[in-house]
A and B are shown apart, each in its own frame.
Chain A
Amino acid sequence: MVKIRRINLKLLRDIWKGKIQYFAVTLIIFLGVSIFITCFEAYQNLGISYSSFYDRLNMADYWVSVDQVGSNAVKDINEISGVEASGRIVEDLFIDMGEGGGEKVTGRVTSLPENQMPVINMVQVEVGNYFSGSSGREILVERHFAEYYNLKPGDWLTLEHEQVKSRLLIRGIVMSPEYIWIVKSAQEPMPTPRTFGVLFMPLREAEKLFNMEGTVNEITFLIAPNVDHTKVLDRVRTILEHNYIKRMTFKDDPVEVQNRRIDIVQGIRSAYMTERKNVPVVLILRQKLESFAMLAFLFPLLFLAMASLTIYVLLSRLIESQRIQIGLMRAMGYGRAAVIFHYLGFALIVGVVGSLTGVTAGHIWANGLTELYMKQLNIPIAVTELHWGTILGGFAAGIFIPLAAGLIPAWSTIHIQPAEAMRPPAPTAGNKFIMTPLLYILRPFPYYIKMPLRNIFRNFKRSLFMATGIASALIMVLVAMSFVDIVDEMFSRQYGTVTKYDAMVYLQGEGAASNVSLISHIEGVTGAEAVLDVPYRIRFGDNKIDTSIEGIPEKSTMYNLVTQAGTKIDVSADGVLLPYSYRDKLGAQIGDTLRLEPLKGTIGETDMKLAGYVWSYIGGRAYMTLRDVQKLQRDSGAATGIMVKFDGPPDSYTIERINNMPQVASIELVADTRKMLDEQMSFFWVMIGIMLAMGATLGAAIIFNGVMVNVTQRAREMATMRAVGLGDRMLSFMISLENIFIAAMGVVIGIPLGKYISLQFFEAMSTNAEDVFSMSPPEISARSFITAVVAAVLIMLISQLPAIMQITRQNLATVTKEYSD
């Protein structure tokens, strides 16, 4: 049997003696390390999984959109060495879901080769088959849309393009790397499957349907590894030039209006290129990934910081209580280094156990989370790898942070002189500077109030540590609750205050505002107002934002814009209203003049004053009066949509009548959007629950340790109080009261910090999401503050129970004789 050195045996026995306290610190380290590993490995796994999925289905590296180009251009690009290219037709049309509920749905059709799977942007057939090749009148349906309408292979779909209807047979239900997440456009990043579906059609059929024989409007291409992208793009540019497309620009940098005018005069056509990283689906998935990366650092940092603080307090207390043992060790001939290493051993063991278990659990959880997440997105590939860099990083942090924290108290042992250590320490009176006035102020109070208050200042450092524990629990709860607030605020403001309509009727292209009177006369409709949404670039100085400007009627009863503070603000001829989230990006103040440049067409360029900032969430855009936007478009009757209010829930007849109007493209019911958002929130609520549980655990572990250290250090004093006749209830009350005072300190520290961290979290999230979402900073509600405070105090009251039990069960005869344990 291996004989363990007695100094190490002492270390292990000491840990066993305070096992619950050491377990509590180990738990904090475990949580910190496991959260880091879970989130960061999940982040890495998901990134690899997405890439693997993209690679498996040969997702393109570049998309080039043109108005029309001959198929020979695709052939030429395909001949570039190391390049695989494919041409296709991508067009929107209507899907007539009339048989069911009279719905007209926007369909995005993408052509595919008829006889074989495409080489680039392949689809994965989930149910049924790929095109048979024998008949062109076949179609594949993307799974989100198919699921919503319960479409199966063998069903027929009626498509409508330019008033021409055609019926096609569904051959299969497919998934596509381009549509893992359905994005219709930057203005409509979250369409419901009720109103937007993706279809795949044989190229020959698409050519016929869209009257594009021998041509395509989108070229996608994939570049082999180690091939110079710049050279390929130069070649592609040359090929397009040979095909009369003189300008190639990236999609996020459209041609200036002035140049567009020149292009029209000179007959120059443009191609818009998008890199894979800027495709909306890739952007959204990356944004979701970033939130994992953010969680991977922020929470573990909080946990490990608190673990180091706890270790510092625990070791300080241990060293204080083992002064005589330290003196003895030194007297017996143990060197200073041996004593320092002995006490560092406590931090090391706690760190190693916490890190090892944390890394193991974190890795398992990361794999589970990756699989769960990919399952939620219905992606069949979930790559779960062992990321050694992350594992070692988490392990090292879990060991070195507690070791660093333990170094300060361990180092303090070198100041303990053996001769002095043999004598009991003089009792501490506390900080005189605070205690003297405190004694005076507290004179009229009874002893059971006076003592707890004075005790706080007897060892203020420890009181501060416990307050920090309460503050950290409060921060966790507050951060979680602030997310609830963001969602609540978003939903209640958007659907309670701002959006007063029941449905948005989208018109085909730029329709006519006159549809308002037609729709408002339909039975079941109580009101209708037109909107005109036009893509615009807004400039201020060197800053610019690509967005859209929505024209809404002055004094609209269906779209109530509000300021950040929640007060109503109307669009007026005075200028343009911008979402609050643009304020920092543009840097413009109210009254500044903005340059408005249309992203399409050659008209509508103007300067306009910034009239104010408004609250907005997903799909933030600028607002002006409908009349002003119509003026800019030089079309006084233009509209892109009609806001409709129904008399109660709309029946299928009302919907069908609106759908049957010639200019109507689709109807988006607000109730449907809300339902979809609620479904997407399920994962979010699980995360909130986990955060709350972690907050409670962290707080409980710290407070438990703090109170244990507190009462064990004062065991003799408390035993004496009991010996002179103080009842257990009164003693418990006094301990609780002291802790409540400390909790109050924690609340004072935790509330501003929690608010600050919540805002930082939000900032990081909205920065990551800025390409897709536009969010306004959250206002943390009184409910959240109260919940966080009550939770922190409750955690504190529960966590102190073991310490109180220990005190009331101690042997009075023994404890009153000892001056140290």
Chain B
Amino acid sequence: MNPNVKLTDVSKIYRMGQTEVVALNNISLEVFPDEFIVLLGPSGSGKTTLLNLIGGLDAPTSGQVEVNSINVSMLSRAQLTGYRRHQIGFIFQFFNLIPTLNARENVEFAAELARNPMTPDQLLREVGLDERMNHFPGELSGGENQRVAIARALATDPPVMLCDEPTGSLDYETGKRIFKLLRTLNQTRHKTIIVVTHNAPVGAIADRLIRMRDGQIAGITRNEHPLDPDKLEW
């Protein structure tokens, strides 16, 4: 099977005045369709940087990033915009919803960009928010906000979903429910999902757990029997 995300010798170096900070150091990685990946590592290990490179939010200093046979590192700015629009769905720790739009409108905000958008109402029902569609972010709980953000990420029907600490600002129970939802989407909608977290137990729900340290991959563990998120404990 061909990987739909492929990183080859990728490095990312930030220059801050005279000093250089190596965020990623010569990383190579392959992620396959329908895989559920957890990137685990302490703060500063480079996991968010890796996610940003895959998402086309940032460019590598060297190396090559390929997603669905698209060489992301070679794309122009305009092509990157199109790439993010159609290939990637983002989910952030702080949800990043537009506060002046309600739940349905936030999803529509993304759907309007897609060639074949998913139906916002259906997506919101799928994430369990059929009763809360007309509520504004300020009127929803953290978990509900993150569900809206997931529905929004799905609106353009992207093959790859990138989740940066999606439960970082949520309580234990809500966090578990979010992981359950992501896992379900991975299985039912066949999305490749990459989750960044520093919460070690989360790795048990992944198909593969990739540990990162100091900008490098410290180890890869394949779970033959990923844990049901309902049974997660931390």
Contacts and interface: CB of A to CB of B under 8 A. Distances in A.
Contacts of A328: 90, 92, 96, 98
Given A331-B57, A335-B78, A7 B84 contact: no
A7 B156 CA distance: 16
A331 B84 contact: yes
A709 B52 CA distance: 32
Contact of B105 (A9, A335, A419): A9
Interface in B191-212: none
Interface string B99-136: 11100011011101100000000000000000000000
Contact of B101 (A6, A330, A332): A6
Contacts of B83: 333
Contacts of B81: 330, 333-336
**Secondary structure at chain A's binding surface: helix, strand, loop or mixed?**
helix
Given A6-B105, A334-B81, A14 B100 contact: yes
Nearest to B136: A13
B112 A419 contact: no
Contacts of A381: none
Interface string B52-69: 100101100000000000
Interface residues of B, number: 31
A525 B199 CA distance: 108
B200 to A, nearest CB: 24
A417 interface: yes
Given A9-B105, A418-B57, A324 B96 contact: yes
B177 interface: no
Given A332-B84, A332-B85, A10 B100 contact: yes
B170 to A, nearest CB: 15
A412 interface: no
A618 interface: no
A417 B58 contact: yes
B225 interface: no
A422 interface: yes
Given A325-B98, A334-B81, A10 B57 contact: no
Given A332-B110, A333-B84, A417 B57 contact: yes
Contacts of B113: 332-334
A415 interface: no
Interface in A404-438: 417-419, 422
Interface string B176-199: 000000000000000000000000
Contacts of B44: none
Interface residues of A, number: 25
A781 to B, nearest CB: 51
Interface in B76-90: 77-78, 81-86, 88, 90
Given A324-B96, A331-B90, A10 B85 contact: no
A17 interface: yes
Contacts of B86: 333
A325 B109 CA distance: 12
Contacts of A821: 99
B77 A422 contact: no
Nearest to A422: B92
Interface in B123-163: 152, 156
A729 interface: no
Contacts of B112: 5-7
A418 B81 CA distance: 11
Interface of B: 52, 55, 57-58, 77-78, 81-86, 88, 90, 92, 94, 96, 98-101, 105-106, 108-110, 112-113, 152, 156, 164
Given A6-B109, A332-B84, A335-B81, 10 more contacts: A6-B106, A9-B101, A10-B101, A13-B101, A324-B94, A330-B81, A331-B88, A332-B90, A333-B81, A335-B78
Interface of A: 5-7, 9-10, 13-14, 16-17, 324-325, 327-328, 330-336, 417-419, 422, 821
Q: Which 4 interchain pairs have the tightest Cβ spacing?
A: A333-B85, A13-B100, A6-B109, A419-B57
8 contacts: A9-B101, A10-B101, A331-B88, A332-B84, A332-B156, A334-B113, A335-B78, A419-B52
